[in-house]
């Protein structure tokens, strides 16, 4: 077979959905930002789930049979875990802020206890993460968050 045809077939094979045709849940994204709508951020090292789920809106459950019930949509969840409510939480991984960027020392006189949270950092300014209002590549995990009076946040080195 001709090399060009082999390359073309390889390209199309990587562009088609999995053999079963089930869409990945984290591919359901916010139109403006490209951030997953149903999947939640998780620091790198999220648990593997690797099974199909049935979702009604943003509530997802492990498949109980060969298909989902009326009103539910079937998706695949690569990373996730069963939650305490009988549902399944699916994740997409985000990096730790201090592993990608340099974390500043704790500001002088700052006495609040550090918090841990997911943050949205764009153009050097970090804010709280609101659903759908942050592009996926701007979402980070911060284990030592400092909040300032102007509403901005900084991931700091507390040592």
Q: In the prediction, which pLDDT does 13 show?
A: 30
| Residue 17 pLDDT level (bands cut at 50, 70, 90) | very low
Residues 99 and 124 in one domain: yes
Q: In this model, does residue 107 exceed pLDDT 80?
A: no
Quick one: 25 exposed, middle or buried, by C-beta within 10 A (0-12, 13-18, 19+)? buried
Q: Does position 14 have pLDDT exceeding 60, yes or no?
A: no
Q: Which strands, in side-by-side order, build the sheet including 73-82?
A: 40-43, 88-94, 73-82, 48-56, 59-62
The predicted model scores a pTM of 0.76
For residue 72, tell me if it sits in a domain: yes
Q: Which residues pair with 140 in a beta bridge?
A: 119
Percent pLDDT > 90 in the chain is 47
Domain end, chosen from 42, 70, 93, is at 93
Task: Please count the structural domains in the chain.
Answer: 2
One domain, residues 27 and 57: yes
| Whether residue 127 sits in one domain with residue 71 | no
What average pLDDT does this structure show over 127-153?
A: 83
Given a cut of 90, whether residue 46 has pLDDT beyond it is: yes
Q: Are residues 79 and 39 in the same domain?
A: yes
Q: For residue 111, tell me if it sits in a domain.
A: yes
Q: Over the chain, what is the mean pLDDT?
A: 82
Identify whether residues 70 and 123 lie together within a single domain.
no
Rounded mean pLDDT, 21-49? 91
Residue ending a domain, choose from 93, 121, 142: 93
If asked whether residues 68 and 124 sit together in one domain, one would say no
- What are 47's two structure tokens? 């648990």
Q: Which residue has the higher pLDDT, 123 or 50?
A: 50
Domain that holds residue 153: 95-157
Same domain, 35 and 61: yes
In a domain, 4, yes or no: no
State the pLDDT at residue 4.
37
Give the pLDDT of residue 131.
67
Token couple for 7: 């390359």
């Amino acid at each position: 077979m001709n090399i060009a045809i082999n390359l073309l077939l390889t390209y199309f094979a990587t562009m088609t959905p999995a053999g079963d045709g089930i869409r990945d849940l984290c591919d359901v994204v916010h139109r403006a930002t490209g951030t997953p709508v149903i999947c939640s951020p998780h620091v790198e090292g999220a648990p593997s789930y690797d099974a199909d789920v049935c979702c009604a809106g943003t509530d997802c459950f492990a498949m109980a049979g060969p298909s989902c019930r009326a009103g539910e949509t079937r998706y695949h969840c690569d990373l996730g875990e069963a939650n305490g409510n009988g549902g399944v939480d699916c994740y997409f991984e985000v990096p730790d802020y201090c592993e990608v960027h340099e974390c500043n020392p704790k500001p002088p006189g700052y006495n609040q206890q550090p918090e841990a949270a997911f943050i949205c950092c764009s153009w050097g300014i970090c804010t709280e993460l609101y659903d759908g209002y942050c592009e996926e590549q701007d979402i980070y995990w911060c284990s030592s968050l400092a909040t300032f009076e102007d509403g901005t946040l900084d991931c700091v080195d507390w040592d």
